[in-house]
Every structure is written in structure tokens, then in C-alpha cells.
Structure 1
Amino acid sequence: MLGMIQPAELLCRSGFSFKKTLMAAERERADISQERDEWCKHRQPAMQQSPGFSPAGLSQHGG
């Protein structure tokens, strides 16, 4: 809607930030760490070798 501020935008403008903190905390969990290792060592390289892979579509954020 034009002219309406979304709740997340309002929180950010007010100085609140929680998404990155939650994501960082989750990375310390054993199950999340194990899944991340699996992704980085096996699934991501396999995906990069598949036809149609485009590195331009990847996020440039931490990994």
C-alpha cells in the first residue's frame, strides 16, 4: 500500500535489529552447523557443476 510503512521498516527506522542476531545464534546450534557443513562441502559444489548454474544469481553475503 502506498503511504503505509511496513512493521519491519518501522522497527528498523526505530533502531531495532533482530534478524541478524537470530541468524548468528542459529549458526551455533549443532544441527544447523552440521547442515551448513553438508551444504558447503557437498550440495553447493554439485549445484555449481550443474548445467544452467549462474554465479550472478548467488548472494554475496557471508558463507
Structure 2
Amino acid sequence: MLGVKVVDAGIGPLAFYGRCSTEDNQDPETSHGWQLGNARKFVEPLGGTVAAEFFDVGQSRSVP
């Protein structure tokens, strides 16, 4: 298109949601850090930033 300037601002701010099944089987602090680090590794090259964080420690899927 002539006369149109396209600005690539990236994907912008995103929310992070992480989860670990139980405190008995996983360390929530370690799990949170690992998951958040991986999320940033994928979104930052696309212009994204983690603007909010949510992390749950819930029930294991293996427990009936």
C-alpha cells in the first residue's frame, strides 16, 4: 500500500498463568520460576511482556 506506514509494536503486554499440581510433589516456588522463565523466553522475542502473574497450587490429576 502506498503512503501507509506499518508499525510493528509486537504482541504487547500479556498475563502469565502457571500451575503446579500439589506441594507434596512439586516445589511451587521452583515450578513458578521455571514456568515464568519459559513464558518470557517465548513472548519477549515477539515484543511481549509479562504484565500480570497468576499461579495456582491445586489438586493433582493423579489423585481420584
TM-score by structure 1 length?
Answer: 0.28
Structure with a larger share of its residues in strand: 2
Structure with a larger share of its residues in helix: 1
